[in-house]
Chain A
Amino acid sequence: MSASGSMPELRSGIFFFGLALFVLWESLRLELGTLKTPGPGFLSFGAGIGLAVLSLALITSGWGKRADLKAHSRRVILALLALFAYSLILDTLGFIVATFLLVAILFRLGGYFRQWWTLVAASASVALLAYLFFGILLNVFLPRGLFSF
């Protein structure tokens, strides 16, 4: 699948130009100071101007330059959703439960384990072994969550 006819350089140029405008606005709010006493927004303002100029150059060079950009894979989108969900549930559910769920989803996306019971067993083993290795052996403080483990 490909989103044919998209203009990747134009798109990225617009994104960075927007970012540059935001940085310039924030830098002005932070105070630029003077050349004699540069303020907290001095460097970010200068870098923002550089970014704006370069993104305009990218927009100009990318205008009309079409390229076949591969569509996002479903696997990538699901993996990203799982990763962001993991960051949100890690504190609440605790390391073992949250990691079990994440690993199960990732194994499923990889398609290595075909039967559900091997998937569950492998995910549980990985979550427990990771807890034993990092939490117990390397003494990393891992979140315990609702279930206190």
Chain B
Amino acid sequence: MKKALPFIAALVLLLVPLGVSNQFFLHVGITVLMWTSLGVAWNLLGGYAGQISFGHAAFFGAGAYTTMILFLRFGLAPWYGMALGGIVGALISIPIGLICFRLRGPYFSLSTLAVAEIIRLVALNWESLTNGPVGLLITSLPHVSFLGITVNWERKEPFFIIIALLALCSMLAAYLFVRARPGSYLAAIREDEDAAEAIGINTTRAKVNVLALSAFLTGVAGGFYGLYFRYVDPDTVFLISLSIEMVFIAVVGGLRTIGGPVVGAVFLATIAELFRDRLASGHLIFYGLFMMLVIRYLPEGIWGRVRRALNMRR
């Protein structure tokens, strides 16, 4: 019964747009699902490998820009662009990883921040590629039909389904990766990196691999962002606070859990909605506060704690 639960939940999720037509509700759902994907992606590196990255916005932005540029300049449909966005994210993660993984702990974290900032500045100034601070805008999405039905891009339903599939695939990918051999290596690295080397694990390669997967998933989500919001500029998609929000989702939800980011994303989206009318970034106050509270009182995250409580009841 327990094993079937995630599948049932997934099925229910995909059927939501059939039952719900409230556009606002769907919009919130889309936001939550996008953040879930991002949280799952970040968690692979941060929770499972123990490498706290503050620079994931770089991959998000890379994916978003790739999708936008491929569509606006070359006419490539955004759904393919999304996949390529992920690939671009993964590709740039390799040199980034090779540089940053030379450091450990907080120093690694801040190096990722520096890298992300450099990329943001490049995006801001390389106007011939990215249009600089003006950003890129999609005015209309291509005409397409699926199973005989023309997709109505004016409504939220198609986007909901896309992001739901994306989130589910991300979670599945993460789950499979963690269960397999690479995932075990990550546990060793997280516990003691030198000892991991001493038992024959190529720690650099393992870290670069998990980063590539993490960056790929982040990039695809970035591509979705471009598809859904249809506008990107360097200060929206390369911003540090984006990276911090990913950290937040994973930490509050539960590092080292697959389901944690869902909880974290729901939290984040709820707070964001509650405070959006009051003040533009008032919600960040609560992110900071909650992060502190969670680390202090619930270091395994909300979902982590719940899961432990459920396990204990046997």
Chain B associates with chain A: no
